[in-house]
Amino acid sequence: MEFFKKLSLFFSQYANTSEKNVGKFFARLNEGANRHKIHQYIINYLQEDIISFTVFTEYKYKGYNYLKSKKKRLNLYENALAIVDDFNNFEFSYDASNLANEIAGLAVKNNFSDSQIERLIYLRKIMAYFSPERGVYNYKHSSTFGELLKDPAKFMLVGDCNQIVSLYLYLYSLRYCIDDLKLISPPNHVAIYYLGIQIEATMGRFTSPDPDGDILPIQEIATINILDVTDSYFKTHKIEPKSMLDASRLAFLVSSNREIVKKNLDTAYLNIIIDNINKNNYPLAINFAKQSKKINLIEYVAHKATIYFDKKHNFKEARKYASYSIDKKELLKQIVRSEANYLYKNTKYSGAIKLYNSLGDVAMVQNCYLALYAFEQKKLGKIISVDDIKRQSATINSMYNYAKKTGNKDLIKYSTDLKKYLKK
């Protein structure tokens, strides 16, 4: 069984089982999902493997070329384990006596329990490990997570505030429940919030909570990472519109920044609809338009699809898409006109007459009958005698009937004169 699991991963886009679970989770997302359940799923994923969750979302939703390699992503996961080993060695040799007074002061001031003090001490050790003074970590705005996941024995770890927060959370999750913690998000920044204390991951120190900072649930780190600016130093590839829609759906379900995520979701829907229209995949385009519940997007697809299928002379499909439009009546009328013209051009006059009649187009109905008259007239061939005329009685009767429907006096007179010979 293990062999087949590995074989399945080998032929998939996923580097490990954690990535596969995250990918399947994103694929199932939609705006109608239960937000409470989604929040709990994300907390569970972050608790289980925040590193794989973050790397995979960068790969899928930020388009970094270097992350397209599964081997490279696996290397990043190995580096994460190297960071854990290095931290454990640091913690083992770390002189924690200096922490006693600092934590004790916080504990007395805030009336913390023993378990809360234990967690604060552990957080303080993480802060000490990543402290800028040690030279292990260096802050860089809008960096990729891959710059942070390096072997600390060989390289400086470089990352943005949300990325170093993610690494803090990773180390914390190895020992405690990640939802012990919250986030605090001052403008253009994010830090960890615990028991009324702001933990500045980039600087490695405790501070008072920023009065301009919003307190956010821990799962919002997922959407903060997704919405973060792409590192311009690294080449990126085009991100599939479906992937962007998945990411926007997650942000919509999780993020408290409603204005931004709603705008992003609307844009993602528009992009995936345009992408499918460009591929002439109108079933998918209308499906996404309906999922968006945006009347303007449904209308946009309906018009585009109606025009496309009308030009392809697939009038059945054109009518189907016209039915989605608020201009349904006018579009259907245009389709009838187009189909009638198509039938007329291809000498299918009987069908064309029915459609032109439904439009009340008398002139085109007469043109159809003129064409039918001309078609019958060609059958007469060379007429020399009355017997020749009598042998063409069926043709002459048809000509007479068509002539009357054209209203053309000359044709009526000519066919009437011929009919007289039929009685002789």
SS3 13: coil
Position 28 in a domain: yes
Position 74 in a domain: yes
| Cβ proximity of 383 and 371 under 8 Å | no
Position 325 in a domain: no
Tokens representing residue 332 in the block: 């259907």
Side chain identity at residue 277, one-letter code: I
Instruction: Point out the domain boundary residue: 196, 227, 258.
Output: 227
Angle between helices 241-254 and 258-278 (to 10 degrees): 160
Position 62 in a domain: yes
DSSP label at residue 228 = S
Query: Where in the sequence is the domain holding 387, given as residue range(s)?
Result: 351-422
Could you give the CA distance from residue 285 to residue 307 in angstroms, rounded to a whole number?
A: 14
pLDDT reported for residue 234: 42
Position 172 in a domain: yes
| Cβ proximity of 168 and 150 under 8 Å | no
pLDDT reported for residue 410: 86
From residue 417, how far is each of 75, 99, 389, 411, 421 by CA, in Å? Answer: 96, 120, 11, 10, 7
Domains of the chain: total: 2
355 and 216, same structural domain?
no
Could you give the CA distance from residue 365 to residue 351 in angstroms, rounded to a whole number?
A: 11
| Cβ proximity of 226 and 251 under 8 Å | yes
SS3 280: coil
Could you give the CA distance from residue 40 to residue 25 in angstroms, rounded to a whole number?
A: 12
Position 269 in a domain: no
| CA 54, 57, 59, 61 torsion-angle sign | negative
* Dihedral angle over CA of 119, 122, 124, 127, nearest 10: -130
User: Greatest CA separation found in the chain?
Assistant: 131
Strand partners, 182: 193, 217
pLDDT reported for residue 233: 46
Residue 385, number of CB atoms within 10 A of its CB:
9
Could you give the CA distance from residue 304 to residue 217 in angstroms, rounded to a whole number?
A: 42
Position 312 in a domain: no
Instruction: Point out the domain boundary residue: 227, 252, 284.
Output: 227
| Cβ proximity of 245 and 76 under 8 Å | no
Position 125 in a domain: yes
- CB half-sphere exposure, 299, CA atoms < 13 A: 5
Side chain identity at residue 307, one-letter code: I
| First-residue to last-residue Cα distance in the chain | 95
Q: Where are the alpha helices (DSSP H) in 94-219?
A: 97-110, 114-130, 161-173
SS3 323: coil
Of 154, 18, 131, the closest CA to residue 83 belongs to 154
Could you give the CA distance from residue 298 to residue 228 in angstroms, rounded to a whole number?
A: 30
Could you give the CA distance from residue 183 to residue 209 in angstroms, rounded to a whole number?
A: 11
pLDDT reported for residue 12: 83
pLDDT reported for residue 232: 45
Tokens 């970094």 found at: 64
SS3 185: strand
Instruction: Point out the domain boundary residue: 227, 244, 269.
Output: 227
Going across the sheet that includes 197-200, the strands are 205-207, 197-200, 191-194, 182-185, 214-217
pLDDT reported for residue 105: 66
Q: Give the pairing of strands 157-159 and 137-139.
A: parallel
Tokens 């439904």 found at: 358
pLDDT in tens, the chain (424 residues): 565 566 566 668 888 899 899 888 888 888 888 888 999 999 999 999 999 999 998 888 877 788 888 999 999 999 999 999 999 999 988 877 777 667 766 665 667 888 988 898 899 999 999 998 888 999 888 778 889 999 999 999 998 898 999 999 999 999 999 999 999 998 888 999 998 899 999 998 888 889 998 899 999 998 888 776 444 444 555 678 887 888 888 888 888 777 778 888 898 899 999 999 999 999 999 999 999 999 999 999 999 999 999 999 999 999 999 999 999 999 999 999 999 999 999 999 999 999 999 999 999 999 999 999 888 888 776 665 677 677 777 887 888 888 899 988 888 888 887 777 777 5
pLDDT reported for residue 248: 84
25 and 158, same structural domain?
yes
